[in-house]
Amino acid sequence: MKKIYLVLLLVSIYTVNNAQKVYFKQNFDYPTLDGSTNYISAGDYYGPPVPASSAYIQIAPNCFYSSPTPDSSQFTFIGTSATGTDSIVPDGNGGYALMLNKVSGTSNSATLVRSVPLADSAPSFLVIGFDLTPGQFSTSKVSNSFYCSLGLVKDTMRSESTTTGLTTRLAISSNGGSTNIFRLRDPGTPTAMGVDSFPTGSKYHITFIANDGDSTVYHTYTAPNGTIDSVLGTYWDAWITDSVGNTTKELTGRKMPKPSNPMQGFRFLITNTPQVAYILDNILITDGASSTLPISLAKFDAAKINETSASISWSVASATNIKEFAVTKSTDGTIFKSIGTVPFAGTKDYTFNDNSLGAGTSYYRLTSIAKNGAEQYSGIASVVNKISGTSIISLVPNLVHSTATLNISAAKADAVSTRVLDLVGRTVQEKSINIPEGNSQASFNFTTLKAGSYFLETISSDGSIKTIRFEKQ
């Protein structure tokens, strides 16, 4: 019987969102071009001494590479020690995120620092956004805190105080105990907690809005929920957005402890309690400006090519000083991640293929990026991909050093058999996996395979077979 695939797509667009100056941006999705599974040698590491037990640090090359002369996506200090580690992990959406894991001890560890100024002069207004998944590895639920600090930070493990450069900071804190929930918190004096409590283990988007300007002047900004809000100089606000897009203003008009310290750098840090991990992703720091980019789009569309691919196309009506376009994708219509860039060529029409189309609805949005770093978002285009059976979307990386992640889409939950075949058809490795309905990931360890070409084959319970080729170093 011939299978019929139902495709619903189309979309609307109409641009003109606000342009912003981007000071820092990092989503940890740098591709593994050398097949090294995101390892670099300890000699390329700018943090403190590497523990003797580790020959390598899990830091993706050129992804968040720690450098004394960083660009707008790099840190100056990555604080990994025997008591805390920073590791690249799958983000569940085909990309990567950073896990900060505090292993033991009560001293500060597992930290990321940007001490080199974000701009030529310290900004007086910053919007700091990032995704955070709070989680605990401790068998006994204990209290802990994750900090985002602004100010004259230094390349050390230790957090700043108001006397050593701190301007202000936001905490995300767990209360421990049987409930094991967390809240946004102002750790200043007096301290204050956010209005809502959230369970650990789920992803949230945090927006930290800091105004270090004139203490008599309000700064107006567009809030994460799309409304217009304002914050007085030397005060800050904090918002949280959950995984389904519900947004709440958790802390309002909190006083900066030392506004005279310029907001030229930042630090992310886990402190105090051991045996705890947080997953950090999609850091974006901007000036929150509301000016408009010199670009206008005539259209932005998305269309399905086949079960695993979609075509994204757009037309430019007019543009000035545009550098490139970033095509971003989301599975929930709320949190978007870049899947590729297209240089601005001065022409009218552009296309980009997404070769990792999953089951269900995929949402696309275009980011126009100016030469000065300012950004503007398009409207959202969507593709509904109804599939039958199981489809292999991609194997990342395709050039394998030791481990790889298989991205799969399934019409229904299924028990799938997998096997690795060499070029003459011999089975050299087998594994059974249970996959849920929709998009999912499965990890494979290919360490024992000899260098060469192989096929990874999946066999669904209905007998359908899908195959993808990969290279083992």
Q: What are the domain boundaries of the chain? A: 22-286, 293-385, 390-472
**Domain 390-472 of CATH type 2.60.40.1930:** yes
Token digits of residue 277: 């991990």
Same fold, 22-286 and 293-385: no
3-state class (DSSP) for residue 61 = coil
pLDDT in tens, the chain (473 residues): 333 332 333 232 223 344 678 899 888 765 443 344 333 333 333 333 333 333 333 444 334 655 667 778 788 887 655 445 566 677 777 677 777 776 555 555 578 889 989 887 888 999 999 999 886 555 455 567 889 999 999 888 778 888 889 999 999 887 655 556 788 999 887 788 887 777 777 889 999 999 998 888 778 788 888 777 788 889 999 999 887 788 899 999 999 999 999 999 999 988 765 567 788 889 999 988 654 556 788 889 999 998 888 999 999 988 877 889 999 998 777 678 889 999 999 899 999 999 888 877 888 989 888 877 777 778 788 888 877 667 777 788 878 888 888 888 777 888 889 999 888 888 999 999 998 887 788 889 999 999 988 988 888 887 778 888 888 88
- A 10 A CB-CB count for 290 gives 13
Place of tokens 């691919």: 309
CB 51 within 8 A of CB 83: no
CB 99 within 8 A of CB 279: yes
Report, at the CATH architecture level, how domain 22-286 is classified. Sandwich (2.60)
CATH homologous superfamily of 293-385: Immunoglobulins (2.60.40.10)
Nearest to 394 by CA among 458, 302, 460: 458
Parallel/antiparallel/unpaired status of strands 465-472 and 399-400: parallel
Residue type at position 93: N
| Alpha carbons 357 and 340: distance in angstroms, whole number | 14
| Alpha carbons 160 and 156: distance in angstroms, whole number | 9
Kindly report whether the global pTM for this prediction surpasses the value 0.75. no
